């Protein structure tokens, strides 16, 4: 077979808004692909601006900088291969009004030779592209290296019309630049949509996704190539930047994808752990925080959060603080020290007893005649939050919040206490998943992790009953259903969007379902004030699931 087309795939990690740095990275990757023999080099969706740029595309100065960077990149192609780069572009409509398009810009021979705009603009979940972009017309193929290349951007692969239009107009291959965020159940969705487009058109398909974290979103890469029969013949690694060549041979008047590298797919727990690791690492590094500080209680949530911090940044950039109260057990003190020892990070101790006494004295005249309740318990949590924020302000590290999705769902968290921080790495992870992740990390270390080999927490941290230790002999299950049942109900209410009566029909106790539903609705005002965190599920709090705080509707 005669080798007919070689495409360089750039699975890269851009930073939103860092146009000059993104352009420099694209230029360097382009030259590496050129050296390896690429005839077309493809970068992900909006790779030049970073994805998603949100309202940055409303700023003329930002778009001016994009235009200048595209001009510079085009010059690189004067004697080299073609380059296709995702970028926001201004368009003047028939009404004379200037709009912005989510475009793929093709450069060849030292100039911009073609542009194609995204047709289907997602407007659900974390996506609100219809608010800032105008849709493009059905695209026509672009001739590159003597072949008719059909370019369609991300969401356009989710629908049949764009691929069919390209096929009808002579496309020989489909190339799909993407900015597709990770979700735990999404791994099989992209190849399924791609295979549907291949089956309908009989054309091979190249899918190029980005990697990295952007605020609450994480991108897992896993770019791939399908041959005209729908078989996956090339797959890039998940969770790491990577560059590769996809080669195509001329066969029977068409293009046939040749076998290439096939990176293994990570198992679900590795994917979830690396999603959290990627999101945390890029949030810290791209926002230029020097270090992380977090409260280490001796419990499982703070233990796995500390492990993620050390794996992301290295032990020397992580400080843990144990803040005991009179209710803190010796077991918790021992377990916190053991976690810090296994991770190799600093452990400071700041007792909050004096703060509790000071607040008790201050508030005594106002609390007189009333029995102690959650108010006194929450003072402890807020004293700890205050101490961590004071250390952050004085010394510079970002406070890492350690709460999980189960707690966020039902309000089992204290505003301005354990909810304070710059980032909540477990925000979209249920408690039962925290247990599973902890066991996974004790047995495995990701290849790119900076933390230790071997266990990162004692077995007792995983097996002991969870407790906030805000009063004597307190256990989480004093206030909540067992986490196995709680999480099963929450997953049905949140991700499943089921009505309470449907869940009861599945065999869950009616009173328990009603109580969880009430707690979920009542905690919306708390969640609105929580820090950002890594989105891993289909419906994460914040960007996905947005219920009104003032809400008189009840099922």
Residues annotated as catalytic are: 45, 118, 154
Please state, in angstroms and rounded to a whole number, the distance separating the CA atoms of residues 295 and 398: 12
Q: Can you list the pairs that 27-36 forms with residues at least 24 positions away whose Cβ atoms lie under 8 Å?
A: 27/72, 27/73, 27/76, 29/243, 30/73, 30/76, 30/80, 30/81, 30/83, 31/76, 31/80, 32/243, 33/8, 33/81, 33/243, 33/245, 34/8, 34/80, 34/81, 36/8, 36/245
Please state, in angstroms and rounded to a whole number, the distance separating the CA atoms of residues 297 and 146: 63
Please state, in angstroms and rounded to a whole number, the distance separating the CA atoms of residues 278 and 269: 14
Task: Output DSSP code: residue 146.
Answer: T
Nearest to 292 by CA among 405, 421, 451: 421
Angular region, 354: left φ>0, alpha ψ -120 to 50, beta rest: alpha
Please state, in angstroms and rounded to a whole number, the distance separating the CA atoms of residues 503 and 511: 11
Please state, in angstroms and rounded to a whole number, the distance separating the CA atoms of residues 85 and 13: 14
Crossing angle (nearest 10°) for helices 189-201 and 160-168: 30
User: Is 471 within 8 Å of 336 (Cβ atoms)?
Assistant: no
- Cis status of the peptide bond prior to 52, with omega within 30 of 0: yes
Please state, in angstroms and rounded to a whole number, the distance separating the CA atoms of residues 517 and 481: 12
Q: Report CA-CA distances (Å) from 25 to 22, 362, 463.
A: 5, 57, 46
- Sorted by sequence, the CB contacts under 8 Å of residue 34 that are 6+ apart come out as 8, 41, 80, 81
Angular region, 253: left φ>0, alpha ψ -120 to 50, beta rest: left
At 40, phi and psi to the nearest 5? -140, 130
User: Is 185 within 8 Å of 491 (Cβ atoms)?
Assistant: no
């Amino acid at each position: 077979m005669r080798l007919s087309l070689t495409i360089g795939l750039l699975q890269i990690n851009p930073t939103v808004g860092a146009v000059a740095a993104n352009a420099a990275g694209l230029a360097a990757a382009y030259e590496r692909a050129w050296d390896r023999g690429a005839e077309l080099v493809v970068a992900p969706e909006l790779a030049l601006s970073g994805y998603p740029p949100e309202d940055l595309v409303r700023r003329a100065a930002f778009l001016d900088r994009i235009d200048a960077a595209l001009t510079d990149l085009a010059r690189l192609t004067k004697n080299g291969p073609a380059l296709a780069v995702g970028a926001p572009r201004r368009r003047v409509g028939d009404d004379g009004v200037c709009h912005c398009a989510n475009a793929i810009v093709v450069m060849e021979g030292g100039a911009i030779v073609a542009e194609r705009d995204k047709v289907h603009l997602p407007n659900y979940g974390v996506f609100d592209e219809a608010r800032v972009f105008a849709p493009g017309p059905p695209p026509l193929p672009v001739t590159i290296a003597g072949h008719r290349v059909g370019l369609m951007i991300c969401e356009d692969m989710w629908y049949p019309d764009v691929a069919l239009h390209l096929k009808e107009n002579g496309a020989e291959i489909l190339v799909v630049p993407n900015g597709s965020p990770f979700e735990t159940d999404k791994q099989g969705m992209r190849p399924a949509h791609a295979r549907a487009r291949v089956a309908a058109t009989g054309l091979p398909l190249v899918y190029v996704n980005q990697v990295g974290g952007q605020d609450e979103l994480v991108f897992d890469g896993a770019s791939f190539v399908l041959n005209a029969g729908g078989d996956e013949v090339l797959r890039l690694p998940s969770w790491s930047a990577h560059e590769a060549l996809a080669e195509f041979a001329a066969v029977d008047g068409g293009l046939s994808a040749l076998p290439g590298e096939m990176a293994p797919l990570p198992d679900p727990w590795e994917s979830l752990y690396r999603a959290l690791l990627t999101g945390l690492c890029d949030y810290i590094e791209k926002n230029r925080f020097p270090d992380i500080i977090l409260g280490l209680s001796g419990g499982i949530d703070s233990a796995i959060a500390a492990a993620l911090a050390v794996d992301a940044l290295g032990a020397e950039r992580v400080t843990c603080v144990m803040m005991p109260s009179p209710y803190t057990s010796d077991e918790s003190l021992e377990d916190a020290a053991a976690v810090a020892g296994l991770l190799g990070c600093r452990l400071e101790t700041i007792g909050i007893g004096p703060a509790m006494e000071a607040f008790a004295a201050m508030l005594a005249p106002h609390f007189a005649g009333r029995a102690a309740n959650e108010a006194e318990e929450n003072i402890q949590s807020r004293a700890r939050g205050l101490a961590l924020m004071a250390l952050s302000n004085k010394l510079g590290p970002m406070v890492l919040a350690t709460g999980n999705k189960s707690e966020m769902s039902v309000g089992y968290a204290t505003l301005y206490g354990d909810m304070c921080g710059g980032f909540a790495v477990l925000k979209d992870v249920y408690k039962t998943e925290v247990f599973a992740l902890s066991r996974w990390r004790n047995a495995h270390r990701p290849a790119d992790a900076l933390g230790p080999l071997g266990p990162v927490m004692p077995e007792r941290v995983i097996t002991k009953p969870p407790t906030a230790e805000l009063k004597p002999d307190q256990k989480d299950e004093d206030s909540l259903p067992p986490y196995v049942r709680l999480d099963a109900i929450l997953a049905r209410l949140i991700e499943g969007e089921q009505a309470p009566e449907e869940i009861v029909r599945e065999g869950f106790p009616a009173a328990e379902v009603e109580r969880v539903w009430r707690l979920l609705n009542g905690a919306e005002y708390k969640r609105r004030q929580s820090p950002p965190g890594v989105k891993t599920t289909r419906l994460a709090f914040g960007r996905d699931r947005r219920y009104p705080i003032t809400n008189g509707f009840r099922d």
